[in-house]
Structure 1
Amino acid sequence: MKLFFRTIIGFILAILAISPFIFIGLSLYDAFPNFYGIIALGIISILSLWIAYGIFKLIKGKGILKILSYPYASPDLDKIKQ
C-alpha cells in the first residue's frame, strides 16, 4: 500500500514538473512556428520528461518525507543567526 501511495504522489509531482516546461516550449513554438520552434519544443519536452522521470523514481524509491528530511534538505539555512 505504501508503494501505491508513493507511486501516486510521484506521478502527480512528475506531472507538475512537466507542465511549466511544456508551457515554455509551446510559447517558443508560438513565437517561432518553423523548424527552430519544433526543435526547441522537442528539446524542452525531452528535458522535462527526463527531469520528471528522475523525480518520479526518487519519490517512488525513498518517499516524500525522506526527501524533505535532513539528508536532502539544506542544514545551512537552519543556522542563520550565529
Structure 2
Amino acid sequence: MKLFFRSLIGGILAILSILPFLFLGLSLYDAFPNIYGILALGAISILSLWIAYSIFKLIRKRGILKILSYPYSSPEADNLKDK
C-alpha cells in the first residue's frame, strides 16, 4: 500500500513537473513555427520527460517526506538561549 501511494504521488508530481516545460516548448513553437521551433519543442519535451522520470523514481524509492525534510539536524539551533 505504501508503494502505491508513493507511486501515485510520484506520478502526480512528475506530471506537474512536465507542465512548465511543455508551456515553454509550445511558446517557442508559437514564436518560431518552423523546423527550429519543432526541434526546440522536441528537445524540451525530452528534457522534461527525463526530469519527470527521475522525480518519479526518487519519490518512489525514498518517499515524499524524506525528500522534503532536511536530512541534517542542528542541535545548536534547537536550544536557543538569549545571551
TM superposition score normalised by structure 2: 0.84
> Residue type matched to 1:56 in 2?
F
Ranges of 4+ aligned residues in structure 1 off by more than 2 Å = none
Alpha-carbon separation, structure 1, partners of 2:31 and 2:70: 43
**Cα distance, 1:16 vs structure 2:** 0.3
What is the rounded CA distance, in whole Å, between the counterparts of 1:27 and 1:7 in structure 2? Answer: 30
Q: Deviations over 1:15-44 (max 9, x none)?
A: 000000000000100110000000000000
Partner of 1:38: 38
Identity of aligned residues (%): 77
Corresponding position of 1:2 = 2
**TM-score, scaled relative to structure 1:** 0.85
Counting matched residue pairs gives 74
Measured after TM superposition, the shift of residue 69 of structure 1 is 1.5
How do 1:1-82 and structure 2 match up within 5 A?
1-71=1-71
Aligned twin of 2:81? none
Distance 1:26 1:70 in 2: 35
Cα deviation code 1:25-71 (max 9, x no counterpart): 00100110000000000000000000000100000000000001222
**What is the identity, as a one-letter code, of the residue corresponding to 1:31?**
A
Q: Structure 1 unaligned runs (5+)? A: none
